[in-house]
Structure 1
Amino acid sequence: MEQVPILSLKDVSYRYDMRSQRYALSNASFDVMRGQWLAILGDNGSGKSTLARLIVGLATQESGSIQFNQEVINEQNKSKLREKVGIVFQNPDNQFIGTTVQDDVAFALENLNMSYSDMKQRVFDALKQVDMYELRDKDPSQLSGGQKQRVAIAGILALEPELMIFDEAFIMLDPKSRRELLNTLKSIQRKYHLTIISITHDHNEAVLADRMVFLNEGRVVDQGNVQAMFDRNRDIQPPFAEQFRRELEQRGIPVPNHYMSDDELVAWLCE
C-alpha cells in the first residue's frame, strides 16, 4: 500500500511585497511522510522561515497549494490545522505565559476545555518526555536556555500534535545542550512516530533527519536522504564526520568513497 504524505507542498510561491518581483519562495514542492523527520536547510534569506509561516497558516501563499492530511489548507480550516501542528521558535521566552513550568505547559490545554485529570496527566507525560518534571514548579525565567526550550517543546507535545516544526529552535543553545535536546527529540520521534520538520542552517543538526530539502534564494534546489544529499552537493559544507572523511580522502588515505555518519566513521576507524 502506497504511503500518503502528511504534508504536501506543490508549486508554492510567496512574496512579502506584491509590488516587488522578488519572491521569498518560488515554486517550492516537496512531501513529508508521517513519522518522518525532514530537515530544511538553507542560508539566511533562502526562504526557510517563510515556509514555516505558510505551513502553520501564519501567511498565505500567492500560488500553489499546501495539503495537510490530504486536505488543502485555506482560510476556513486554518484554525483546525493549528490544533494538529505545533511550532517552536528560536527564542522560547516569546512563548512563555505561565508563572511556573507546569502552568505554562497546561495553558494551551485549558483552552481545549479538557478535564483537570486529563490535563494533569498530559502535563506530567510531556514534562517527563523532555526530562523537566522535577522542575515543574520553577519560574520559567529562572531556567537555562536549554531548559526553556525543553519546556517550550513540552507545551507542544502536551497538545499531542501530528506535526512539530522547529524554526531555528536550537541556534541559541550551547553545543552540549543542543546535542542533548536533539537526542531527546529523536527518541520521542521514534517512540511516538511523530512527524518533525526542522528548519536550520546547522548541518550537524540536519544529520538526525530522515530526509533533507535544500533551499537557495527561495527555490528547492535538491531533496533526498542525508547520504545522497551530501554526496550530490559537494559544495555545501557537510557535518563534521563527513568533513573529516573528506580531509582523509584528500590526503590520499583510503577511505570509503561515500558520505559517512558519525557512527559509521567511528566504526570504520575502529576496524
Structure 2
Amino acid sequence: EARSAARRVIIHAYDDGTPDNRGITLAGYGPITRHTAEELQRDARRRVNALSELADPDTAAARRHTPSEALARFCRGRDGTCVFPGCQTSAEKSDLDHIVPFDHDHPDQGGHTTCDDLGTLCRFHHRLKTDGVWAYYRETDGSYVWIHGPHHPDRDPATRITTFPTGPFAGHAAPRHPEASRLQREAAEAGETGFGSAESRRRPHLRHRRDVERRNLRAQARLWRQAPQTGPVSPPTPSTPLSDEEPPF
C-alpha cells in the first residue's frame, strides 16, 4: 500500500559547467559537494536550453505573459535572490517581473517574456516597482540599476543603485540583445514601468486604493510631525483606516 502512494521527487539543480561536477547547485539549497553531485547524477536527467532561444523576442513564448519552466529556472538561477538593493529573499520564493511591463492588449508592443526582460523580485519589492515607487533596468553587463520612480516620496533623479546577480548562472547575466537595456532604461527614466503601464491599467481598483492609502498616510504623518509631543506617541501605521472615498469603477 505504501508503494502505491509513493510519488516521484524532482530536485532541480544548476550546473555551471565546471569539470568533475564541482559546480552543481541545488535550487533553494545552494552548492553541494562533488560526492553528493555524483550520487545525484546517477539518476538525473540533464536538460540543456540555449540562451539564444530564451532571449529571443520573436518566439510565441515571448508573447505569453507566463514564462516557461525553462525560462523561469534560468532567471532564478541567474539572479539567486531578489535583485532589489539589500534584499536577500531567495529567488525560489520570488516573482519574475517584466522590467518593461507586458502589454496584455498588444503583446507585440510591450515587454517580452524573455530572459533579457525578466528580473527576480520578492513580492514586496515587486509591488513597489509596480506602484511606481522604484524603477530599474538591466545594464549590458547584466547588472541591475535602480532609480526612484515617479511616486517615490523623496524622488531624486540622480539616484543610481547598482545590484548584481548572485546565482550560479550569474556569469550569463548579460542580455543577449543589448538593445533591450536601452529600452528598459528609457522606460524606467520616463516612469513607464509602474503606474500608467498596461498592467496597472487592468486593475484600476487596486491602483486607486493604494493611491488613497498613500495620501492618507502622508497626511497623517504631517499631522503627527506638527502636533506637540507631550509623551510617547507612535507614528501612524498602515493599519490606519482608509477614507470613504469610492474607487472609480
Give TM-score scaled by structure 2 length: 0.25
Q: Which has the higher strand share?
A: 1
Say which structure is richer in helix. 1
Q: TM-score normalized by structure 1?
A: 0.24
Comparing both chains, which one has the higher relative contact order based on Cα–Cα distances under 8 Å and sequence gaps of 6 or more?
Answer: 1
